[in-house]
Amino acid sequence: MHNRHIVKKFIGMILSIGLLTGCGFVSDFSVDTLQSSNEEEGPATLGLTPSFDYEVPESLPNILVDQVGYELGSNKIAVIKGELPPDSFTILEAESGREVYTGKIEQKGYDETIGCYISYGDFSDFNTPGNYYIEAAMIGQSYPFVISENLYGDLFDAVLKQYYFNRCGLTLSTDLAGAKAHNACHSREAQMKEEASIKRDVSGGWHVDEMGTRDVVKGCQTVNYLLLSYELYPDIFEEDLKIPESRNGIPDVLDEVKYEIDWLLKMQDATSGAVYASVSSVDNRTAGYILYIDGITMSATIQFAATMARFSYIYQNYDRDFATQCLKAADRAYRYAEKYLADVSMEEYFHAATELYRATGNQRYHSVVKNYLKQNPELDMDNDFVFWGCVTYLATKQPVDVLLSNSVIQLLMKKGEQISFSSKESKLLVKADQKQSNHAALLQDMSRLAVVDHIITNHEYATVLENHMHYILGRNLRAVSYLDGAGQRNYKDIDESLGIMNQVDLNAELVLLLSAVMDDEMIVGEE
């Protein structure tokens, strides 16, 4: 009986600690199963076969912070896991361990989505620059973080420069690429997958995966988000990214986008205007590798048309001749797609028409835009093509249908309010799933909210945007930074697939989020 009492006491102690320090996970066995089947035969063995290769689980902090840090003057909240937290928390200097601030812990309750009890430690009124960590009785310590001005500048440059590292067909020098330097790759001619005798020069562009694939659809979608970021927040983008084109009088983001645009032009069939889908590399024992060009698709063709048109009206201030070349290529692709409308997504067709209308003012495109908006009064803002098309139509200087424009902006505002509300409903202050891995959905929402915040400059929306950066940089249940080289604990420690910067399309949405957050901080700094 003595052993039974010890086991019960041990389990009670473990459950108590769980309530204090973390999310509640319930074990699959009961007290009775932990007893020896015959108490007289010896002490309890917990009913398990001893194992000597047991790996101790990693101990994660229950105080979650942005591991990069917090801007001076911004809202600063630490998220604390556990049902019964203490009343207060303390901020300490990272180097000396000296206490510099004490705050109250505010319980927020149980979050059904993430399966966890959450409390907050708000230290927004603490604005002394420095390196710190947070500590609370029975909870432990957070990872270290910084409080400073211009917090995200270096991170923004690293996120944007990822596209330079993804360049194909170019030697990356040690001076500019450091440890990521390499010789030019995939520079030989590629052959048609359907007809090996036909070869084309399709060098250049960005790799979209570790296999060296270059993809028109993914490239266009990435360019669209980068150009949207630049158009909304041009002052954020400078010319000191340390790429070969830096300091040429053109913002580095446009130089980088042009590298992809040059490749996209190579993917268009000169005769028909149609666009090939992608280029892939396959290992070959004799040749080393063979490059294959995948066939023409309607998605590649119509998205090419939209992206080329968008690039043309943004780039015309720097190189009018090249911008005109891009616009002509866009029109040819659009005309090809029009011949096969049964195979074209109407959302993609609408988007391409908005971009070409903005670039040319041609009523032929405007008719397509108006017809789509009239036939689809409840626009799906979760669809990227609808979203891009609507933003472009609202931004154009060409004449627009005022009633349709008003309807579009009301739907966009409604979407922004829905995103803000659902984010604030979550105890983590972001609409994250239980696995903390729904980056694509979160970044898509933030792209919509960034546009709405740009239109109306709403402090509440700015806070939601910044909360998502805090989540990405460590204030999540995994206590991990999802960005390369940022934070003490990185996604690479647990799952390579969770990284955002190595996914070219998500990284572009991250550029938009960072641009919005940095712009809001500039506005606050000027007040």
pLDDT at residue 16, as a whole number? 47
CA distance 368 to 308: 18
361 phi-psi bin (left φ>0, alpha ψ -120 to 50, beta other): left
Among 144, 90, 123, 96, residue whose Cα is nearest residue 486: 144
CA distance 46 to 147: 48
The answer to whether 309 and 249 are in contact (CB under 8 A) is: no
Among 155, 151, 106, 105, residue whose Cα is nearest residue 131: 151
pLDDT at residue 59, as a whole number? 79
Q: Do domains 63-148 and 152-336 have the same CATH topology?
A: no
Contacts of 144 (CB under 8 A, 6+ apart): 67, 94, 131, 132, 133, 488
As assigned by CATH, the class of the 63-148 domain is mainly beta
CA distance 260 to 243: 14
pLDDT tens series, the chain, 527 aa: 444 444 444 344 444 444 455 564 333 333 343 344 444 444 444 455 555 555 556 678 999 999 999 999 999 999 999 999 999 999 999 999 999 999 999 999 999 999 999 999 999 999 999 999 999 999 999 999 999 999 999 999 999 999 999 999 999 999 999 999 999 999 889 999 888 889 999 999 999 998 899 999 999 999 999 999 999 999 999 999 999 999 999 999 999 999 999 999 999 999 999 999 999 999 876 777 899 999 999 999 999 999 999 999 999 999 999 999 999 999 999 999 999 999 999 999 999 999 999 999 999 999 999 999 999 999 999 999 999 999 999 999 999 999 999 999 999 999 999 999 999 999 999 999 988 889 999 999 999 999 999 999 899 999 999 999 999 999 999 999 999 999 999 999 888 889 999 999 999 999 999 999 999 876 555 54
Fold of the 152-336 domain: Glycosyltransferase (1.50.10)
Contacts of 210 (CB under 8 A, 6+ apart): none
pLDDT at residue 12, as a whole number? 47
b/e string for 337-376 if b means 16 or more Cβ within 10 A?
beeeeeebbebbbbbbbbbbbbbbeeeebbebbbebbeee
CA distance 521 to 462: 9
Helix (H) / strand (E) element for 103: namely: strand 99-111
pLDDT at residue 284, as a whole number? 77
Count CA atoms closer than 13 A to 454's CA, side-chain side: 25
CA distance 444 to 509: 7
- Using alpha carbons only, give the angle 74, 76, 80 rounded to the nearest 5 degrees: 165
Contacts of 97 (CB under 8 A, 6+ apart): none
What single string gives the DSSP state of each residue in 330-377?
HHHHHHHHHTTGGGS-HHHHHHHHHHHHHHH--HHHHHHHHHHHHH-S
Which one-letter amino acid corresponds to residue 4? R
Which one-letter amino acid corresponds to residue 263? W
Computed from CA positions of residues 237, 240, 242, 244, in that sequence, does the dihedral angle turn out positive or negative? positive
Cα distances (Å, whole numbers) of residue 84 to 14, 20, 137, 157, 383? 14, 5, 11, 41, 42
Which one-letter amino acid corresponds to residue 470? H
Side by side, which strands form the sheet with 190-192? 199-200, 190-192, 288-293, 278-284, 214-215
Cα distances (Å, whole numbers) of residue 124 to 71, 76, 187, 473, 522? 10, 5, 52, 18, 18
b/e string for 397-407 if b means 16 or more Cβ within 10 A?
eeebeeebeeb
Contacts of 228 (CB under 8 A, 6+ apart): 388, 391, 447, 451, 512
Quick check: pTM over 0.85?
yes
The answer to whether 236 and 519 are in contact (CB under 8 A) is: yes
Joined tokens for residue 293: 């060009």
The answer to whether 473 and 486 are in contact (CB under 8 A) is: yes
Instruction: Output the 3-class SS for 247-272.
Output: CCCCCHHHHHHHHHHHHHHHCECCCC
Cα distances (Å, whole numbers) of residue 398 to 303, 326, 331, 359, 402? 22, 20, 18, 9, 12
Cα distances (Å, whole numbers) of residue 177 to 160, 163, 164, 171, 248? 13, 11, 8, 10, 19
Domain boundaries, the chain: 2-41, 63-148, 152-336
pLDDT at residue 58, as a whole number? 65
b/e string for 166-185 if b means 16 or more Cβ within 10 A?
bbbbbebeeebbeeeeeeeb
pLDDT at residue 55, as a whole number? 57
For tokens 């003490």, name the residue. 488
pLDDT at residue 288, as a whole number? 79
pLDDT at residue 171, as a whole number? 95
pLDDT at residue 15, as a whole number? 44
Among 351, 195, 338, 342, residue whose Cα is nearest residue 276: 195
